[in-house]
Structure 1
Amino acid sequence: MKFCEFYPNNMIKQLKSEAEFFFDSQFKSRFLQALDSPELTLTEFWYLTKDLLSTEKDLDNARLRLGKRPTQEEFTTGIGVGLKFDSISDSVGLQTDTVSKYICPVYKQVVKRYSEQPLHDPILAKLNLPFNTYTTVAQREAVRLTLVSKPDATVIVNLPTGCGKTLVTETLTGFSRADDLTVVVIPTTALALDQAKRMKASISRMGYQPCAEYAWRGELSQDVKAQIKSDILSGKQRVLFVSPESMVSGILPTLFKAAESKILKNVVFDEAHLIDTWGDDFRPEFQKLGALLESLKNKGGCFRKVFLSATFTDQSLITIRSLFGDAQTKPTLINGAFLRPEPICLKQMVSFEDYIPTVVNKALSSPKPLIVYASTKQECSDIYHQLASQGVSRVRLFTGDTGDTQRSDIIEKWDANALDIIVATTAFGVGMDKGDVRTVLHAGLSQNIDGYYQEIGRSGRDGKASYCELIYHRGQLINRSRSNTIGIELGFERWNSMWKQRSEVTDNLFEIKVNTQANHIERNSDANATWNWKTLLLMQRAGLVRLSYPDASLVPDSEECWANFWSNFTNKVFVEVLQDRHVIKSTWEEQVNAHRVQESRVLNKRGELLLEWATDKRPLGEILQESFRLDNFMPLKVCGRSDVENDRVNSKTLVGDVYSVSQPTDNLNNLHQFYFEPTQNSVELLINIFKQKVNEGEVTTLVCSEKFLQQSKPYLDNFTNKIWFHMTFSTYDESEQLVYEYRKFIVQDELTIHSTLNIPLTFMEKFPNYYFGNSELKDPLNTHRKWWESSNNIKNITTLVN
Structure 2
Amino acid sequence: MYLESKSPLCRRPELVPADPFWMATVGYNDYRSEGQRQAARSIVTAPPGATLLVSLPTGTGKSSLAFAPALMASQVIGVSVVVVPTVVLALDQERRLQEMIKERGERPSPSGRYAYIGDMADEEKEAIRDAIRRGEQRLLFTSPEALMTSLAPALHSAAQAGHLRFFVVDEAHIVDQWGANFRPDFQAMTGLRRTLVDQSAPDVAPVTVLMTGTLSPSAAETLYRLFADGGPSTDGRPFRIVSSSRLRSEPEYFMSCWPSDERRMEALREHLLHLPRPAVVYVSLPEQVDQVRRAMTTWGFHRHAGVSGRSRASERREVVNGWRTGTGATRYDIVVATSAFGLGVDVSDVRAVIHACEPETVDRFYQEVGRGGRDGCPSVSCLLLTRPDRKIARRLGLPKLLKQKAEGRWDALLVGARQLPSMRLRLDLDTRPPNVTMEGPTNRRWNVALLSALARTGVLDLIASGWGEAQEEVTLDQAEVRRYLEISRRREIDWAAYLIERQRILDASRDGLNALRIIESGRRCVGDVLRDWYSFDRPFGSAGVTRSCRGCPACRRANAPPSEGLAPLPPVADWPVRTSGIGSPLHALMPHGRLTVLVDTGDEVPPARLARRVLKQLVVAGFSHVLDVTGDITDQEWLELQDCAGPRPLIRSIAAPSPLDPPVPTVALLAAGTKPPLDLADWFDYYPALVLVAPTKLTAPGRPHVAWSDLHQPCVTHTRLREDL
Structure 1 residues 770 and 252, CA gap change in structure 2 (3 angstroms): same
Q: Which residue of 2 aligns with 1:154?
A: 51
Q: Structure 1 CA distance, aligned partners of 2:179 and 2:403?
A: 19
Partner of 1:673: 595
Deviation per residue, 1:495-543 (Å, 9 max, x gap)? 2234456677899x65353545433455746655554343233223223
SS across alignment from 1:346: strand
Output the TM-score relative to the length of structure 2.
0.84
- Whether the 8 Å CA contact 2:226–2:455 is kept in 1: the answer is yes
| Partner Cα distance (2:358, 2:636) in 1 | 59
Q: Equivalent of 1:574, from 471, 475, 488?
A: 488
Aligned to 1:474, what secondary structure does the other structure show? coil
Partner deviation per Cα, 1:748-770 (whole Å, 9 max, x = no partner): 2357678435444555x363333
Tell me whether 1:706 sits opposite 2:706 in the alignment: no
SS in 1 for 2:404: helix
Deviation (angstroms), 1:467: 0.8
Matches within 5 A, 1:63-74: none
- Out of 637, 640, 653, the residue aligned to residue 550 of structure 2 is 640
Q: Secondary structure at the match of 1:228?
A: helix
The within-5 A match list for 1:200-599 is 200-207=98-105, 208-209=107-108, 211-300=111-200, 302-327=205-230, 328-352=236-260, 353-416=262-325, 417-477=330-390, 480=394, 482-500=397-415, 511-515=425-429, 516-521=431-436, 524=439, 528-546=443-461, 548=463, 571-577=485-491, 579=492, 582=493, 587-588=494-495, 590-599=496-505
What's the offset of the Cα at 1:290? 0.7
Mapped partners of 1:622, 1:652: distance in 2: 11
Question: Is 2:624–2:651's contact at 8 Å kept on the other side of the alignment?
Answer: no
Q: CA deviation at 1:204?
A: 1.9
SS at match of 1:418: coil
Question: How many angstroms apart in 2 are the aligned matches of 1:109 and 1:307?
Answer: 34
State whether residues 79 and 163 of structure 2, in contact with CA within 8 Å, keep that contact through their aligned partners in structure 1.
yes
CA distance in structure 2 between the partners assigned to 1:602 and 1:677 by the alignment: 61
Cα distance in 1, alignment partners of residues 437 and 547 from structure 2 = 49
Q: Residues 791 and 260 of structure 1: is their aligned pair in 2 closer, same or farther, counting only changes over 3 Å?
A: closer
**Contact 1:345 1:468 (8 Å CA) reproduced:** yes
Which string of whole-angstrom CA distances, capped at 9 and with x for unpartnered residues, describes residues 95-136 of structure 1?
xxxxxxxxx56596343333430122233333363x532211
Kept in 2, the 8 Å contact 1:671–1:771? The answer is: no
Paired-residue identity, %: 23
Distance 1:249 1:665 in 2: 35
The more displaced of 222-231 and 416-425 is 222-231
Q: Does 1:134 align with 2:31?
A: yes
C-alpha root-mean-square deviation of aligned residues, in Å? 3.3
Indicate if the aligned counterparts of 1:348 and 1:472 stay in contact, CA closer than 8 A.
Answer: yes
CA deviation vs aligned residue, 1:135-171 (integer Å, no higher than 9, x gap)? 1111122122212222322121111011110111110
Asked if the contact 2:238/2:575 (under 8 Å) is kept, the reply is: yes
Kindly provide the CA deviation profile for residues 628-662 of structure 1, in whole angstroms up to 9, marking residues without a partner as x.
1144442221111067777787x674744633554
Query: Alpha carbons of 1:361 and 1:322: their partners in 2 closer, same or farther (altered >3 Å)?
Result: same
Report if the CA contact (8 A) 1:114-1:652 is conserved. Answer: no
The 3 A distance-change label for structure 1 pair 436 and 625 is same
Match of 1:24 in 2: none
Letter in 2 for 1:192: A
The 8 Å contact of residues 333 and 661 in structure 1, kept in 2 or not, is answered as: no
Corresponding position of 2:661: 739
Alignment-derived partner of residue 788 in structure 1: 709
Give the conservation status (yes or no) of the 8 Å contact 2:373–2:379: yes
Compute the displacement of 1:423 (Å): 0.7
Match 1:165 to one of 59, 62, 65 = 62
TM-score of the two chains, using structure 1 as the length reference: 0.76
The structure-2 alpha-carbon separation of the partners of 1:713 and 1:499, relative to structure 1 and needing over 3 Å to count, comes to closer
CA distance in 2, matches of 1:317, 1:752: 47
1:584-638 C-alpha deviation (Å, 9 max, x unpaired): xxx41x3221122122112210110000110233221111000111444422211
List gaps (5 residues or longer) in structure 2: 231-235, 466-480, 580-590
2:409 match: secondary structure? helix
Task: Check the 8 A contact 1:126/1:720 in 2, yes or no.
Answer: no
Q: Write out per-residue CA displacement over residues 465-518 of structure 1, whole angstroms, 9 at most, x where no aligned residue.
A: 1111100112224562643243133322222234456677899x6535354543
Residues 543-589 of structure 1, C-alpha deviations (whole Å, 9 max, x = no match):
33455459xxxxxxxxxxxxxxxx99954322121x4xx2xxxx41x
Q: Report the AA paired with residue 7 of structure 2.
A: Q
Cα distance in 2 for partners of 1:356, 1:501 equals: 51
Aligned residue number for residue 556 of structure 1: none
SS in 2 for 1:187: coil
| Deviations 1:440-468 (CA, angstroms, capped at 9, x unpaired) | 11111111111111111111111111111
**Please, which moves more after superposition, 660-669 or 715-724?**
660-669
| 1:787 maps to amino acid | W
Structure 1: distance between partners of 2:88 and 2:642 = 39
The one-letter amino acid paired with 2:694 is: G
2:523 — aligned with what? Answer: 617
**Distance of 1:326 and 1:602 partners within structure 2:** 24
Check the 8 A contact 2:16/2:33 in 1, yes or no: yes
Matches within 5 A, 1:87-98: none
Moved more, 287-296 or 148-157: 148-157
Distance verdict in 2 for CA 1:791–1:331, change over 3 Å:
same
Moved more, 653-662 or 326-335: 653-662
Which letter maps to 1:664?
W
SS of structure 2 residue aligned to 1:400:
coil
Kindly tell me: are residues 760 and 701 of structure 1, through their superposed partners in 2, closer, same or farther at Cα, counting changes over 3 Å?
farther
Q: Which residue of 1 aligns with 2:583?
A: none
Decide which of 113, 118, 133 is 2:11's aligned counterpart.
113
Tell me how far apart the structure 1 counterparts of residues 362 and 674 of structure 2 sit (CA, whole Å): 49
Look at both structures and tell me which one has the larger radius of gyration over its CA atoms. Answer: 1
CA distance in 1 between partners of 2:483 and 2:104 (Å): 39
